[in-house]
Homo-oligomer: A and B are copies of this chain.
């Protein structure tokens, strides 16, 4: 079959705030090929990502993503891998291209899975989709009291693991952060699994980040996520040397496989967190999972949006029984819930798994998505390059 159409749908909440909550908007991608329709989601700024698909060519290696995708063959996983290489080369000077292609790549796997009647994880070479322990991904409260309440709420909802991130952490002194971290531990209880995410707040300042280590280790946090900017490998490497029980985690900012490998090799992370909607899709994520296994590092998904993105992000490590922990957006905005008709709900053991169903196993709710649809119109010299299609 051939790739006949690629359509983008920009969804947004009526109000988008300054919270670090990635579920406030979404860029849904629909791919049609050979009578099948597949869906994917870019974890990316919608408007620049759409523009990177439709923009006029700048030169031979600054081409719109559309040039490498539309009309191309899609019969096997190798075709998807070939398209990834072509996009990377033909759009090497178009920075946004990796984010744009990520959602398309997921949708290509979804189409192929439907055509073959196979789940994506099986096409990746796995024989089974192992259950994962979802951790609730929430933001720190404005005060330790709010964080305590939020942690208790997550335990009440049967999450045994929770990640607290962003909010006031790193904006004040280490003592204020220690109180927040202790509150999260208290609310989760002694047996809860505690993860902490500081959202790049220390940029590349190793000393300021290191001041947080005693509180993290006293609270028995499993990981210390994104102390630094995504590319600050030296800072990661230096801080990793100073960790005793806690391990560094990072990788959500990786927009190619190399960047993720560098965080492992030069940055010394113990957990490599990959967002399928940014790194170029499922194929590149699987390459990182393979590399993590070889290097004794744990692979974890990064997912803060819908269950379409969640299913896609679980495929690359679905078959790795020992890589059990899995990010699960615990307080998503209604948009992220309503855009899919089915959801990956924890079972009686509190576990989730990548669906044993063709493709990604997630059905889009057109009615749910339409409530949040933004009408986009991009013209150059009066010619329409993009107009939102019917959903």
Give me the interface of A with B, judged by CB distance under 8 Å.
10, 12, 16-22, 24-25, 43-52, 54-62, 64, 85, 88-89, 92-96, 98-99, 166, 199-200, 203-204, 229-234, 253, 255-256, 258-259, 261-262, 265-266, 278, 374-382, 385
Contact = CB atoms under 8 A, between A and B. Distances in A.
A55 B62 contact: no
State the number of copies, please. Answer: 2
A19 B60 contact: yes
A15 to B, nearest CB: 10
Nearest to A25: B58
Nearest to A199: B61
A277 B16 CA distance: 30
A191 to B, nearest CB: 32
Contact of A48 (B51, B60, B256, B375): B51
A234 B374 CA distance: 42
Contacts of A99: 95
A384 to B, nearest CB: 9
Nearest to A22: B59
Contact of A375 (B46, B47, B380): B380
A379 B98 CA distance: 24
A313 to B, nearest CB: 15
Given A89-B200, A380-B47, A96 B60 contact: no
Q: Which of A47, A92, A98, A381 has the most CB of B within 10 A?
A: A47
B92 A230 contact: yes
Contacts of A265: 234
Given A229-B92, A266-B266, A45 B58 contact: yes
A231 B263 CA distance: 12
A96 B95 contact: yes
Q: Which of A204, A381, A385 has the most CB of B within 10 A?
A: A381
